[in-house]
Amino acid sequence: MISPPNSPGSGRPSFADLLELVPDATVGVDTSGAIVLCNAHAADVFGYSAEELLGSPIEVLVAEASAERHAGLRAGFAAEPRNRSMGNHEPLSARRRDGSEFPVEVSLSWVEQEGIVLAAVRDVSDRVDGELLARRLRDELEQSRKLEGLGHLAGGVAHDFNNLLAVILNFSTLAADVVVPGTQLADDIGEIRRAAERGRVLTRKLLIVGGRDTGQPDRLDLAAMLTSLRPLLLSATGAGIELRLELAATRSLHADLAQMEQVVVNLVVNARDAMPRGGTLTIRTEDADLPAYDGVPGAAERLPAGRYVALTVADGGTGMTPDVLGAALDPFFTTKPAGQGSGLGLSTVYRIVRELGGLLSIDSEFGAGTSVVMLLPAYAKVPPADASAAA
Ligand SMILES: Nc1ncnc2c1ncn2[C@@H]1O[C@H](COP(=O)(O)OP(=O)(O)OP(=O)(O)O)[C@@H](O)[C@H]1O
Ligand SMILES: [Mg+2]
> Is the CB of residue 315 below 6 angstroms from any atom belonging to ligand 1?
yes
Q: How far is the CA of 329 from the centre of ligand 1 (A)?
A: 9
Beta strands in the chain (DSSP E): 25-30, 35-38, 84-86, 93-95, 101-111, 116-123, 218-220, 241-247, 253-255, 279-290, 306-315, 359-365, 369-377
End-to-end CA distance of the chain: give it in Å, rounded.
43
> Is the CB of residue 374 below 6 angstroms from any atom belonging to ligand 1?
no
Q: What is the pLDDT of residue 66?
A: 79
> Under a CB-based contact definition with an 8 Å cutoff, are residues 94 and 121 in contact?
yes
Q: pTM for the complete prediction? A: 0.73
> Under a CB-based contact definition with an 8 Å cutoff, are residues 322 and 284 in contact?
no
Q: What is the pLDDT of residue 1?
A: 46
Q: What is the pLDDT of residue 169?
A: 93
CB within 8 A of 267, min separation 6: which ones?
A: 313, 345, 349, 372
Q: What is the pLDDT of residue 388?
A: 44
Q: What is the pLDDT of residue 384?
A: 53
Q: What is the pLDDT of residue 60?
A: 94
Q: Which regions of the chain are under pLDDT 50?
A: 1-9, 386-391
Task: Give the nearest ligand 1 atom to 369 CA.
Answer: 3
Nearest CA to ligand 1 atom 22: 334
Q: What is the pLDDT of residue 389?
A: 43
Q: What is the pLDDT of residue 272?
A: 97
> Is the CB of residue 38 below 6 angstroms from any atom belonging to ligand 1?
no
Q: What is the pLDDT of residue 10?
A: 55
Cα separation, 41 vs 27, whole angstroms: 10
Q: What is the pLDDT of residue 371?
A: 95
84 bridge partner residues: 108
> Is the CB of residue 14 below 6 angstroms from any atom belonging to ligand 1?
no
Cα separation, 290 vs 213, whole angstroms: 28
> Is the CB of residue 316 below 6 angstroms from any atom belonging to ligand 1?
no
Q: What is the pLDDT of residue 87?
A: 61
